[in-house]
Structure 1
Amino acid sequence: MSDDSGVERHGTDAAVVEIDPSAVQLLATADRNGVVETMHHGVAIALGVDGEVVASLGDPSVTIYPRSALKPFQTAAMLSLGLDLPDRLVALATASHAGARLHLDGVVEILSSVGLGLEALGNTPDRPLDPTEREASIVAGRSPSSLQQNCSGKHAAMLVTCRINGWPLDDYLDVEHPLQRAIVTTIDGLGASVRHIGIDGCGAPTHALELGEMAQALRRLALDDSPVLAAMSAYPEMVAGRTLDDTMWMQAVPGLAAKRGANGVMALVRTDGRAAVLKVADGSDLARRVATVEALRHLGVDVDGEHRATTEQMAAPVLGHGAPVGTHRAAPWK
């Protein structure tokens, strides 16, 4: 199904859009006892201060689902529609959170700002993303819930935006809902044409974009002094969690905004407009973590000196009998 803009909305009966294998290149490898065992391919781009391509890998014109790396754009749309939250809750609206108490309490606070309760949330019930929080939830006998699911901050903000604008709440996840149409308009307005709209794991519409255009859209947000990016970098613990690499890099690098997306996506942007986006073709999170270090190197972050300690925390070892026998390594970009 498509609207009058020609954007393909979603549908399982449509032909599958294939990616040309030549569009991807080697992004990372993993060795076991000195022999390369696994190769991860992908696409990546890094932009300089003037918006020029300073490094890339594969074909940046490939269309990807950024998944949760879209959240800065979705939150920017909601702020333009009147959403008014303190910065720490703006960061939470942009989060794929770990499910810690500060995240869950923040979601309740967002909803209660317009008199809504947890029953309004329409995202898919789940347990916390963080393994420790997940285990604690199980031990406490809590059932999976929309509150605990990592996108609950975004969904709470969506509901509040609908209430502010007098829009219906029951169908806020429908691709034809005024909120979802406004999000498409915002993304398009930032220069990243929405190529397709699918349904994300949390139940919200998710938008397919050209990877290179997405990087340029992030750059535009930065140059426009986006309050979303400022909130993310000011409250990195609200965006993810203490063990998640987007939080860790934002804590280490002042002014950096970082947002990971499911199945191997990372989006990065600095206040001066330098931006990078990468996608691991097979969705490997370990490959994404080491490739993120390479992306930051091209954004001028001293990953081998000043921020070496954080880089070392990103190590993705290959285990043999419970001990490290190899590691994941990022391939260089050109």
Structure 2
Amino acid sequence: MTAPKGTFAAEAAGELAVVERSGFVESRHVGSAVVLGPDGSVLRTVGDPAAAVFPRSTLKPFQALASIASGAQLTPEETVLATASHDGTAEHAKIVRGILKKGGLRLSSLRCPADWPTDRDARDQLVRDGHGTHPIFHNCSGKHAAMLLACVASGWDPRTYLDPAHPLQERVREVIQRMTGEHVSRSGVDGCGLPVHALSLTGLAAGFARVRTTRADSPWPLYRDAAALTEAVLQRPWLISGRGRPDAVLIEELGALAKVGAEGVLAVALEDGTAVAVKVLDGSPRPAAAVAAGLLFAVGAIDAPALARVRARLDLAVLGGGVPVGELRVTCA
């Protein structure tokens, strides 16, 4: 029987970070990473960044661009929600409702799973009010709402927008391939029910660099939309996830376009086009942002004060009895 295809094996991974407790290395995070320079050259690699991975929610900027290219007219706030893995706060949900209202769509049109907010206060308030899970609180509801609006604008069936053969999903693949410069090697079903497409970390980093460096006066509509998306994210970092979340921290402190994805994926692109993409092999999200910042510092793309600001906000301390007794330490940079 032929073994199923998948991402890189442990033998091809490199150590990214360790978790140290009381002077003892308790855990080791392995994976792959790549740093690209402003000219697209490879500045640093760890493991096997040429291997395909499922980028998960790091695909959201490209998916949002496909929705916009398909006629979804979005405000800057709505553009960020279309790119977000949000916390399900009342503010997040309000913006998602606004996107649906533009298309005359009902909440029942959302095909993402029902979920609780990941924001603890928002979840507690729902429980106190006697409410339960709902698709609008799913972290991908903004992306789904934007796709539904695009279907209405283009005259496509909004009931089948999850189908990989749907015209909108075909456009998503086209945008991904155009922005990353890679052909989609394999597809699957993401946690929210939409298609997810495999790319290399090198292609993912290149795609983020292209989105981050596009100009508002580009002659190409897709690139103008990418510039508008980047500006919207930079002005409203917390909407892309939640206050103090790792990608929001990277956006705020580095002026970067940053996005986390499930199973330990993260992509970051700076204003000059320097970009990094990380995949933690066991799927842990814990080290990815620290690794990305450490690699950017190692190649001279950010300075020591910027790295210190990021690290201070990532809560990397290891606690014992409620006090710090160690830390997560990046070892690949």
Q: Which amino acid aligns with 2:42?
A: V
Cα displacement string for residues 276-327 of structure 1 (whole angstroms, at most 9, x for unaligned residues): 111111111222232132144247223x314633321213222323332221
Corresponding residue number in structure 1 for 2:19? 30
User: Greater share of helix residues, 1 or 2?
Assistant: 2
Question: Map of 1:142-153 to 2, 5 A cutoff?
Answer: 142-153=131-142
Alignment pair present for 1:183 and 2:178: no
Alignment pair present for 1:219 and 2:209: yes
Corresponding residue number in structure 2 for 1:197? 187
Whole-angstrom CA distance in 2 between matches of 1:210 and 1:251: 26
Cα RMSD, aligned residues only:
1.8
Asked if structure 2 preserves the Cα contact closer than 8 Å seen for 1:97 and 1:239, the reply is yes
Whole-angstrom CA distance in 2 between matches of 1:36 and 1:295: 21
Question: CA offset at residue 234 of structure 1?
Answer: 1.9
Whole-angstrom CA distance in 2 between matches of 1:293 and 1:146: 33
Alignment pair present for 1:88 and 2:77: yes
Q: Which amino acid aligns with 1:36?
A: V
Q: Which amino acid aligns with 1:192?
A: E
Question: CA offset at residue 185 of structure 1?
Answer: 1.2
Alignment pair present for 1:106 and 2:95: yes
Whole-angstrom CA distance in 2 between matches of 1:261 and 1:208: 13
Asked if structure 2 preserves the Cα contact closer than 8 Å seen for 1:45 and 1:55, the reply is yes
Whole-angstrom CA distance in 2 between matches of 1:266 and 1:125: 25
Whole-angstrom CA distance in 2 between matches of 1:292 and 1:18: 20
2:163 corresponds, among 147, 168, 174, to: 174
SS in 1 for 2:40: coil
With normalisation by structure 2, the TM-score equals 0.90
Please, which runs of 5 or more residues in structure 2 have no aligned partner? Answer: 216-225
Question: CA offset at residue 200 of structure 1?
Answer: 1.1
SS in 1 for 2:305: coil
Alignment pair present for 1:130 and 2:119: yes
Whole-angstrom CA distance in 1 between matches of 2:182 and 2:124: 39
Cα displacement string for residues 239-280 of structure 1 (whole angstroms, at most 9, x for unaligned residues): 1111211112212233x1110111111111123221111111
Cα displacement string for residues 95-153 of structure 1 (whole angstroms, at most 9, x for unaligned residues): 00011121110000111111112111010110012233223322322211100111100
Question: Map of 1:257-268 to 2, 5 A cutoff?
Answer: 257-268=257-268
Cα displacement string for residues 4-45 of structure 1 (whole angstroms, at most 9, x for unaligned residues): xxxxxxxxx993435333321000101111011101101111
Corresponding residue number in structure 2 for 1:55? 44
Q: 1:289 to 1:218 in 2, by over 3 A?
A: closer
Whole-angstrom CA distance in 2 between matches of 1:74 and 1:14: 31
Moved over 3 A (4+): none
Corresponding residue number in structure 2 for 1:330? 330
Whole-angstrom CA distance in 1 between matches of 2:77 and 2:182: 27
Corresponding residue number in structure 2 for 1:207? 197
Whole-angstrom CA distance in 2 between matches of 1:229 and 1:23: 33
Whole-angstrom CA distance in 2 between matches of 1:78 and 1:271: 24
SS in 2 for 1:153: helix
- More off after superposition, 162-171 vs 305-314: 305-314
Asked if structure 2 preserves the Cα contact closer than 8 Å seen for 1:275 and 1:299, the reply is no
Corresponding residue number in structure 2 for 1:291? 291
Q: Which amino acid aligns with 1:246?
A: D
Whole-angstrom CA distance in 2 between matches of 1:309 and 1:223: 24
2:65 corresponds, among 76, 80, 97, to: 76
Corresponding residue number in structure 1 for 2:235? 234
Whole-angstrom CA distance in 2 between matches of 1:148 and 1:116: 17
Whole-angstrom CA distance in 2 between matches of 1:274 and 1:121: 36
Alignment pair present for 1:140 and 2:144: no
Identity of matched residues, %: 36
Asked if structure 1 preserves the Cα contact closer than 8 Å seen for 2:238 and 2:244, the reply is no
Asked if structure 2 preserves the Cα contact closer than 8 Å seen for 1:47 and 1:299, the reply is no
Whole-angstrom CA distance in 2 between matches of 1:112 and 1:74: 20
With normalisation by structure 1, the TM-score equals 0.90
Q: Which amino acid aligns with 1:182?
A: R
Matched residues, number? 319
SS in 1 for 2:259: strand
Asked if structure 1 preserves the Cα contact closer than 8 Å seen for 2:7 and 2:52, the reply is no
Please, which runs of 5 or more residues in structure 1 have no aligned partner? Answer: 1-12
SS in 1 for 2:73: coil
Corresponding residue number in structure 2 for 1:250? 251
Whole-angstrom CA distance in 2 between matches of 1:167 and 1:68: 24
Whole-angstrom CA distance in 1 between matches of 2:164 and 2:26: 42
